[in-house]
Amino acid sequence: MTFALPRLLDHSRQIAAMVPVAGVLAYWAGGETGLAVLAAAIPLGVLALGLIPRPRFPEAMSDQVTARLDATLSDIAATGGATGCFVIQFDDPALLCDRLGRTRQSELLAACIGRLRAALRPGDMLYTLEDGSLAVTLAQIPRLDLEIMVRIAARLHLVVQQPMSLAQGPLQVTCSIGFCHSQQLSRPTGRALLDAAQVAGDEAAQYRPGAIRGHSAELARARADRDALRAGFASAVERGEIRAWFQPQLSTDNGEVSGIEALVRWHHPDRGMLAPGAFLPALEGTDLMELLGQTMLTQSLAALAEFDRRGLRIPTVAVNFSAQELQDPDLPERLRWTLDRFRLSTSRLTVEVLESVVAGDGDEVIASNISRIAGMGCCVDLDDFGTGNASITAIRRFALNRLKIDRSFVREVDQNREQQKLVAAILSLAERLGLETLAEGVETQGEHALLAQLGCGHVQGYVIARPMPVEELASWLATHRERQAQALRIGLKAR
């Protein structure tokens, strides 16, 4: 009976609904005898239904790949040789879908798959994986080395990227390929071989279009390191290891602190202090980015409120938000709620947006969110300006308040005439668009002085202060303001 019950869960409501009807019919047909027969028949029916095989769902495609590789590896163990696995990822599939439409994109990818199948040897297999990428498994090859694997990858690459003529005209698609040779793994299994090829494919995709990468021990270690950082991030937040550090921003008009920028640091118990570049790539594309954003926002506003209580008022704090966070339609309300929590006005928060986000085709949700955030009274900075190829139209489309000039334009601006021309052009553009300016990465007094002379409104960089924890910032602020007051007193005496 216990054996049968789990299999009846899908039909439990129907059976329960029919029991009263069956009882009435049994009593009408045979009285008490009929009811007795029904009472005996129900458990027997349950047992009988329990013995009926349940329908089997199709096996996942990745499982089919690993099964095929396991079978090939079993043959290799008996007779020798080697095999390999390739993972082919189409570059920018979302952009391809937007440009061509879903129907035309499917037609194009189907044509690529047909070409690939025609190019494979007998015994080689092609599979479409769950994420839209393709996997190729090689049949047993007596003499397979890495050079042959590279040549096979290049051939697959060429097959995919050849222009093709469809009903709507000629089209071309690009792809990135990762691969793994079975002898590269100390204990080769089908799953391990596929996973290694996917890791190499992910690495290749970072250098698209058209990159090819093979498996290596370094890649495997990097993947394991990334997975460990990702797995431990949420608990690190709970333990207080993820902390906001702050870098001051100064006005070039009077030298006063015009704001601070929040920069994340991970105080890792085993690896020491981790800068953002060491762990942010592991978080991108996951829900952990939202957790990071909320953590940074909360700590930044808490610091601002604490400085207010100490009489060290800072006009604004700038917090970076990723494209993923900016696509959340609830972000503006979340910002408003957190500001209210710390009893801060909306003007005290500056939202930083990367130029690469604005330079794209322009996600409507992002544009709407930025407009709502600006409408609330928050400032919006365009970060790393000059590196993301944002057009004037894109800049005007987003509700921006200030351009942050990238360090690549600031470096040696006091010595390089061409740099001066570029910075002057950016400042002129900002003035015509009614935007403020801030130069980041200012590292020398000469750069600071020339930027002020050219009319840049604010500066930030090592020449002013390095990023520091909130405890050090309080003493830095007090020292800086005392220095400003002393300079003012000297100026008054000189008169």
85 Cβ neighbours under 8 A, 6+ residues apart: 65, 69, 135, 136, 137, 138, 179, 180, 193, 194, 196, 197
CA dist 478 and 495 (Å) reads 26
Question: Does the pLDDT at position 58 exceed 60?
Answer: no
CA dist 438 and 252 (Å) reads 10
CA dist 316 and 258 (Å) reads 7
150 Cβ neighbours under 8 A, 6+ residues apart: 212, 214
> In what helix (H) or strand (E) does residue 93 lie, and over which residues does it extend?
helix 93-100
Site of tokens 């329908």: 55
Q: Single out the residue of 258, 250, 398 nearest to residue 323, CA to CA.
A: 398
Q: What is the pLDDT of residue 124?
A: 94
Q: What is the pLDDT of residue 90?
A: 87
Structure tokens at 56: 């089997």
Q: Return the SS3 of 441.
A: coil
Q: What is the pLDDT of residue 52?
A: 45
Q: What is the pLDDT of residue 33?
A: 65
The percentage of residues in the chain with a pLDDT greater than 90, rounded to a whole number, is 49
Under a CB-based contact definition with an 8 Å cutoff, are residues 237 and 266 in contact? no
Q: What is the pLDDT of residue 5?
A: 41
Q: How far is CA 163 from the centre of its chain?
A: 31
Question: Which of these ranges, 56-65, 126-135, 205-214, has the smallest mean pLDDT?
Answer: 56-65
From residue 50, give the alpha-carbon distance in Å to each of 9, 12, 14, 194, 455. Answer: 11, 13, 16, 37, 82
493 Cβ neighbours under 8 A, 6+ residues apart: none
Q: How many helices (H) and strands (E) does the chain have?
A: 19, 17
pLDDT average, residue stretch 278-305:
92
> In what helix (H) or strand (E) does residue 257 lie, and over which residues does it extend?
strand 257-268
Question: What letter does residue 139 receive in the DSSP assignment?
Answer: P
* pTM of structure: 0.70
List, in sequence order, every beta strand (DSSP E) within 93-205. 125-128, 134-137, 164-166, 169-171, 175-181
Q: Which pLDDT tens digit goes with each residue over 264-287? A: 999 999 899 999 988 988 888 788
